[in-house]
Amino acid sequence: DTAVSQTPKYLVTQMGNDKSIKCEQNLGHDTMYWYKQDSKKFLKIMFSYNNKELIINETVPNRFSPKSPDKAHLNLHINSLELGDSAVYFCASSPPPAFDPLYNEQFFGPGTRLTVL
């Protein structure tokens, strides 16, 4: 049973297009995240949602808009794609960090490799 799933696994698209990545978790977690991992493998937090509410919004262009229709889903919509958006995007989930800050484990999806041509 997949804990955190993302679709699609691969996404190849042209500059200027709009695309969405979907994420679902069946772990019953209240908190979900979007990360971007660039070619140097640096993992950078983009957004964090707790119970469908945005709690972290790092310095990310407003072309990126997360949407959480319910606690189990956090989708990422990207408008007007640019070459620099090419990366692997990871969705993750965890219990609320404040619940057990020492042992708060994040569970990651398999990633979506986005290539913008």
Question: Residue 83, interface with another protein (CB under 8 A)?
Answer: no
Task: Tell me how long the chain is.
Answer: 117
Question: Residue 4, interface with another protein (CB under 8 A)?
Answer: yes
Question: Residue 48, interface with another protein (CB under 8 A)?
Answer: yes
Q: Report d(CA 32, CA 54) in Å as an integer.
A: 10
Place of tokens 């945005």: 54
Residue pair 106/87 in contact by the 8 Å Cβ criterion:
no
Question: Residue 40, interface with another protein (CB under 8 A)?
Answer: yes
- The least CB distance from residue 113 to another protein, in Å, is 9
Would you say 33 or 78 has its CB closer to another protein?
33
Residues of this chain that interact with another protein (CB under 8 A) are: 4, 40-45, 48, 56, 90, 92, 97-98, 101-106, 108-111
